[in-house]
Amino acid sequence: MTAFAARAAADLSHRGRPRSVKIQRGVEWVIHASLCGLTLLSVLTTAAIIVVVVRESLGFFTMDGSTVSLWSFFTGTVWSPLLGAQPEYGVLPLVGGTVLVTSIAGLFALPVGLLTAVFLSEYASARTRSVLKAVLEILAGVPTVVYGFFALTFITPYLLQPLSDDFGTYNAMGAGLAVGIMILPIVCSLSEDALRAVPQSLRDGAYALGSTKFDVTARVVVPAGLSGIVAAFLLALTRAIGETMIVALAAGGLAQLTANPSEQVQTMTAYMVQIFLGDAPANGIEYRSSYAVAMTLFAITFVMTWTGALVLKRYREEYE
88: three-class secondary structure by DSSP: strand
3-state helix vs strand vs coil in the chain, percent to 5: 75, 0, 25
Q: Which of 70, 83, 107, 146 binds other proteins (CB under 8 A)?
A: 146
List of long-range contacts for 153-162, beta carbons under 8 Å, 24+ apart: 155/250, 156/250, 160/262
Q: How far is the CB of 86 from other proteins (least distance, A)?
A: 27
Which of 119, 161, 207, 316 contacts other proteins by CB under 8 A?
Answer: 119
Of residues 235, 5, 21, the one with CA closest to residue 110? 235
Q: Choose which of 122, 133, 257, 258 interacts with other proteins (CB under 8 A).
A: 122
In the list 102, 116, 191, 289, the residue contacting other proteins (rule: CB under 8 A) is: 116
For residue 88, list its beta bridge partners: 80
Q: Among 172, 249, 251, 280, indicate the residue that binds other proteins (CB under 8 A).
A: 249
Minimal distance, residue 63 CB to other proteins, in Å = 15
The residue among 78 and 82 lying less far from other proteins, judged by its C-beta, is: 82
Minimum gap (Å) between residue 90 Cβ and other proteins: 21
**Residue with Cβ nearer other proteins (103 or 129):** 129
51 CB-near residues (< 8 Å, 6+ apart): none
Under DSSP, the state recorded for 320 is -
Closer by beta carbon to other proteins, 101 or else 120: 120
Integer Cα distance of 51 and 93 in angstroms: 26
Residue 51 C-beta: closest distance to other proteins, Å: 9
Does the footprint of other proteins cover residue 175 (CB under 8 A)?
A: no
Q: Give residues 250-289 in contact with other proteins (rule: CB under 8 A).
A: 269, 272-273, 276-278
Task: Report how far apart, in Å, the C-alpha atoms of 245 and of each of 31, 272, 282, 296, 320 are.
Answer: 41, 11, 22, 19, 43
CB 56: neighbour CB atoms within 10 A? 16
Amino acid 208 reads A
Please report which helix (H) or strand (E) contains residue 259, including its range: none
11-50 footprint of other proteins as x/- string (CB under 8 A): xx-----------x--xx--xx-xxx-xx-xxx-xx-xx-
Q: How far apart are CA 24 and CA 29, in angstroms?
A: 9
Cβ-based nearer residue to other proteins, 91 or 245: 245
Q: Judged by CB under 8 A, does residue 101 bind other proteins?
A: no
3-state class (DSSP) for residue 80: strand
Closest CA to 175 of 98, 107, 251: 251
Which residues ranging from 225 to 244 are in contact with other proteins (CB under 8 A)?
235, 238-239, 241-244
The residue among 57 and 256 lying less far from other proteins, judged by its C-beta, is 57
Near other proteins in 183-222, by CB under 8 A: 184, 188, 209, 211-215, 217-219
